[in-house]
Structure 1
Amino acid sequence: MILYPAIDLKDGHCVRLLRGDMGSATVFGEDPAAQARSFAEAGCDWLHLVDLNGAFEGRPVNAAAVEAILAAVEVPVQLGGGLRDMATIEAWLDRGVARVILGTVAVEDPDLVRAAARAFPGRVAVGLDARSGKVATRGWAEETDVDATDLAQSFEDAGVAAIIYTDIDRDGAMAGPNVLATEALARAVSIPVIASGGVSSMDDLTALRDTGVIAGAISGRALYDGALDLRAALDALAG
Structure 2
Amino acid sequence: MLLIPAIDLKNGFCVRLLQGKREEVTQYSDDPASTAKRWVHDGAELIHVVDLDGAFSGEQKNIESIKEIRAAVDVPIEVGGGIRSIERIAMLLSLGVDSIILGTVAVINPMLLEQACEKFPGKIIVGIDAKDGKVAIKGWEEVTEVDAGALSKNAEKVGASAIIYTDIVRDGMLSGPNVSATKAIAERVKIPVIASGGISTLSDIENLAKTGVIYGAITGKAIYSGAIHLKEAIEFVKNIK
Shift of 1:116: 1.1
Deviations 1:39-58 (A, max 9, x none): 01111100000000001110
The alignment status of 1:78 with 2:78, answered yes or no, reads yes
Matches of 2:143 and 2:232, distance apart in 1: 37
Aligned-partner residue type, residue 203 of structure 1: S
Aligned-residue identity in percent: 50
The alignment status of 1:221 with 2:221, answered yes or no, reads yes
Provide structure 2 residue ranges, at least 5 long, that are not aligned to the other structure: none
The alignment status of 1:30 with 2:30, answered yes or no, reads yes
Name 1:53's counterpart in structure 2: 53
Q: What SS does structure 2 have at the residue aligned with 1:224?
A: helix
Matched pairs, number: 239
Q: What SS does structure 1 have at the residue aligned with 2:157?
A: coil
Matches of 2:54 and 2:155, distance apart in 1: 24
Matches of 1:4 and 1:115, distance apart in 2: 27
Name 2:143's counterpart in structure 1: 143
Shift of 1:119: 1.4
Q: What SS does structure 2 have at the residue aligned with 1:234?
A: helix
Name 2:237's counterpart in structure 1: 237
Matches of 2:177 and 2:229, distance apart in 1: 17
Shift of 1:155: 2.2
Q: Which ranges of 4 or more aligned residues in structure 1 deviate by more than 6 Å?
A: none
Matches of 1:112 and 1:93, distance apart in 2: 16
Name 1:102's counterpart in structure 2: 102
CA-atom RMSD in angstroms: 0.8
Deviations 1:45-92 (A, max 9, x none): 000000000011101111111111111111100000010000000110
* TM-score, length of structure 1 as denominator length: 0.98
The alignment status of 1:203 with 2:219, answered yes or no, reads no
Name 2:191's counterpart in structure 1: 191
Q: What SS does structure 2 have at the residue aligned with 1:126?
A: strand
Name 2:168's counterpart in structure 1: 168
Matches of 2:225 and 2:197, distance apart in 1: 15
Matches of 1:59 and 1:88, distance apart in 2: 9
Q: What SS does structure 1 have at the residue aligned with 2:169?
A: helix
Shift of 1:212: 0.4
* TM-score, length of structure 2 as denominator length: 0.97
Aligned-partner residue type, residue 58 of structure 2: G
Matches of 1:107 and 1:165, distance apart in 2: 14
